[in-house]
Structure 1
Amino acid sequence: MRLAYFSPMPPERTGVADYSALLLPALREHLDVTLVRRGSKRAPRGTDAALYHVGNNPDAHAWIVDAMRRRPGVVVLHDFVVHHLVAGMTIGRRDGHGYLDTMEREHGVVGRLLAHGVLDKRIAPLWESRPEDFPLAWFVLEHATGLIVHSRAVHQLVRAAGYEGPVWVVPHPAWPVPAVEPEHVASGPVLGCFGVVNASKRIPELLRAFADVREANPEAVLLLVGPTSPGFDLDRRLQRLGLDNEGLVREGWVDEGRLWELMAGVDVSVNLRHPTMGETSGVAIRSLSLGKPLVVSDVGWFSELPDDAALKVPVDSHEVETLTAALELLVERDDVRAQMGAAAARLAQQQHDLGRVAELYVAALEEAAGGAAVRDAVLREVSRAAADVGISPEDAEAGEIARRLAEVELGR
């Protein structure tokens, strides 16, 4: 198979670019893959299929959606919520009517009225204030001949949205751990939080919980790594909690090498999220590879992590108290950290192995290439085998066979 591969790539500072830099060489061990030049609106001549990586960032993915509209193909859906992408491809291109129409198509008259409010600057942009309520996923789904997603949660979301094409759940691949010298920023237990510093990463809740943890564990340190979102006043929050002079180490954006050094040096990785856009966290996957215990929000893909590798914090009225208890446990118990870290490393090696993920990609793409012909052939064989043993369509056994076929998305 000759595959046209559409994706942002380094040096673009996106998680999807890092993802493709990891996956692409592994795919090329199985397929003839052509990386499409950024901005190209067409697949190269001579390719048999196209694979489109789509996320919520219009700067990184708008050109990919443009190409997909010309030639539909299999989509790797990195975010279920793509409202920001839609806004960039409509309002950002001076196509307000396109935004109005998209909102009405997916959310009815109320959606159109809200879109008018956004265009007239009477309400805050919905992609900033309420994106999870207006995901606008059909903007992408309507052009997908098949979907690759990274979680059962997103699989359920696309089905609930009415998508009827084939969907394959393929784990996010794990990075091999590079040979780096761990950077230990403190002598005591270090809790690391990596990524953009903003409210949706639950930074306010994390800071409050960590301030409580330090009352009984003054040797604990919180390492915050990543740029601060505009409008998020981190310094004021730190001052109010008494964390501005001690207990916290701050670094802004760092390159890949520095990121690995810092992640390797922490004792616990904290990766909170709400609302979730349906994403899988590359930082969390790196933490698994490093054998670091995780503390995550109990939402989306994060909820699917095994309990022996991740402590999950519900996003509810007791979030800070639950988070405090989770952090205290890991700060105070070396044995728990060791057990969870070992489970995390096993998970990365077994479920997120790069070679295994590449093989799952190839299987999905080959099935997509065969499409209905493959499914029809399987169904014919099942029907013939059932008839050979005397099972008729009216029998209870036939209903059970149909149910099992539906579980693997055959027989629709």
Structure 2
Amino acid sequence: MSTFKKSIAIVTPWPPQTSGIADYAYELASCMIGPSVAVHIITNERAPVALPGAVIHHVDEILAGELNLANFDAVLVQLGNHPNFHGYMQDIIKGVPCIVELHDLLLHHCVMGDEGMSTGGQRYYEWLARFYGPAVEKQFRRFLAEDEDILRCPIARDYPCSDVIVASAAHVIVHSEYAKRVLRQLGMKSNVSVLNLCQLPLDVSVPTSQDCAGLRIGVFGGVQRNRQIDAILSVLGRIEARFEAWSLDVVGSVEADCENLLEMPHTLGIGEKTRFHGRLALGALETIMRQCDIVVSLRNPTMGETSGVVTRAMQMGIPVIVSDVGWYSELPPCVLKIDNGHVHEELEKVLWKLLTDAALREELALQTLDFASRRLDMRVAADDILLLALHSCSSQCAGGSSEDIFDGSRAV
């Protein structure tokens, strides 16, 4: 590759794949393209959305010997838990010096593969035994014999799989001190940097204070058990008796074990005020989010994940309520946090205050917009990630080690 123009290969899910990481990678790549940087996308998407200035390759080109990742100045892998979108990346991480941007701390589904546990999970159990030992493998086997949801396994966070998968990476980027701490506790020897989860800035005006009529509450992302949608509905059912001027939008696909939630609003007498939209394209999701006065994003338990929904809401200047766990605990004070041990009581108290106090909503909106403009700008993050990728991959190729070249000032 040219001495003057650096090249980076980004291994990633890609639109139209239904992945938040795909949308993130599209924005990240668009910010890296420039006269001194050639951006190549490697994905398993068969009909990828074009990005002007980027060259898009199918991962099969590597298998066919038509594309050699060693020819790039840097390789950046966008790693998450979805087996179809990320499973093939495990071999790439082992095979070439690269930097990994780790979006999900728990990668059990990625290890299980597309078939999951439907064929008995023998490959998954063999993997666990190989890297964590037979005793640990037996604990997972016993749990999964009773409950098929690995994310509910009490030891899943102690053995997240990510520590093994990224062990050979030249450098690892995470988006929370929580994730970095877990990796370090598990003996992670690669250098780990914490950078904020960023997105392209939006053209947003400062929200104006409004009265309490018709306030919209938004919940965005897949409807899963750990999102505590049942708690949100229960709390709104109680608030309804004292305050009626609200509505709830729930945007995201509903998991099979959460389908009972679709009837819960009617049982609580708030069916006419609650709408389940299902999964929407990013543009449609953002249209609804812009109309919201409050966004709620709860996790119990957290699996070390971050939330593009939360950072997007912050960029829009929308007051946000989150659980006081993991990455969410590290968000600034303008993001309101509740204790999962008292979720109903605390959520009701915080929601009531936001619904009835327009001055508080406006104050939080201003603080949130200010923070997002300074700390959540993808254009700054893209420069940081590109610099770190080029530095880390060149250091490993030269037989050296990459040190953390950031001092933590980019993180929340």
Question: Which TM class, normalised by the smaller chain length?
Answer: 0.7 to 0.9
Match of 1:177 in 2: 202
1:257-406 aligned within 5 A: 257-307=283-333, 309-316=334-341, 318-371=342-395
Match of 1:61 in 2: 86
Please state whether the residue corresponding to 1:132 is helix, strand or coil. coil
In the alignment, the residues of structure 1 paired with residue 338 and residue 9 of structure 2 have an alpha-carbon distance, to the nearest angstrom, of: 40
Gap runs ≥5 in structure 2: 1-5, 45-57
90-99 vs 68-77, greater mean Cα deviation: 90-99
User: CA-to-partner distance for each residue in 1:351-381, whole Å, 9 max, x for gaps?
Assistant: 11122101211231233134379998999xx
Please state whether the residue corresponding to 1:222 is helix, strand or coil. strand
In the alignment, the residues of structure 1 paired with residue 170 and residue 180 of structure 2 have an alpha-carbon distance, to the nearest angstrom, of: 15
* TM-score, length of structure 2 as denominator length: 0.82
Match of 1:2 in 2: 7
Structure showing greater relative contact order (alpha-carbon pairs closer than 8 Å, 6 or more residues apart):
2
In the alignment, the residues of structure 2 paired with residue 310 and residue 240 of structure 1 have an alpha-carbon distance, to the nearest angstrom, of: 31
State the percentage of identical aligned residues: 26
Displacement of 1:88 in angstroms is: 1.3
Displacement of 1:315 in angstroms is: 1.0
Displacement of 1:174 in angstroms is: 2.2
Match of 2:240 in 1: 214
Match of 2:37 in 1: 31
Q: Indicate if the aligned counterparts of 1:146 and 1:368 stay in contact, CA closer than 8 A.
A: yes
Q: Indicate if the aligned counterparts of 1:296 and 1:310 stay in contact, CA closer than 8 A.
A: yes
Structure 1: which amino acid aligns with 2:364? M
Q: Indicate if the aligned counterparts of 1:150 and 1:170 stay in contact, CA closer than 8 A.
A: yes
User: CA-to-partner distance for each residue in 1:144-184, whole Å, 9 max, x for gaps?
Assistant: 2210111111111111111111111111112332689x9x9
User: CA-to-partner distance for each residue in 1:26-62, whole Å, 9 max, x for gaps?
Assistant: 1123632211242516354631221111101001111
Higher percent of residues as helix? 1
* TM-score, length of structure 1 as denominator length: 0.82
Match of 1:401 in 2: none
Structure 1: which amino acid aligns with 2:9? A
Displacement of 1:234 in angstroms is: 1.2
Displacement of 1:324 in angstroms is: 0.5
Please state whether the residue corresponding to 1:216 is helix, strand or coil. coil
User: CA-to-partner distance for each residue in 1:102-121, whole Å, 9 max, x for gaps?
Assistant: 32345443322134447xx7
Displacement of 1:133 in angstroms is: 5.0
Structure 1: which amino acid aligns with 2:231? E
Structure 2: which amino acid aligns with 1:111? V
User: CA-to-partner distance for each residue in 1:200-219, whole Å, 9 max, x for gaps?
Assistant: 11111111111122221111
Q: Indicate if the aligned counterparts of 1:57 and 1:85 stay in contact, CA closer than 8 A.
A: yes
Q: Indicate if the aligned counterparts of 1:285 and 1:348 stay in contact, CA closer than 8 A.
A: yes
Determine which of 150, 154, 157 is the counterpart of 1:127.
Answer: 150
Check 1:363–1:341 CA distance in 2 against 1; reply closer, same or farther (3 A cut).
Answer: same
Match of 1:385 in 2: none
In the alignment, the residues of structure 2 paired with residue 201 and residue 281 of structure 1 have an alpha-carbon distance, to the nearest angstrom, of: 12
Q: Indicate if the aligned counterparts of 1:218 and 1:247 stay in contact, CA closer than 8 A.
A: no
In the alignment, the residues of structure 1 paired with residue 285 and residue 407 of structure 2 have an alpha-carbon distance, to the nearest angstrom, of: 40
Match of 1:48 in 2: 73
129-138 vs 354-363, greater mean Cα deviation: 129-138
Q: Indicate if the aligned counterparts of 2:338 and 2:346 stay in contact, CA closer than 8 A.
A: yes
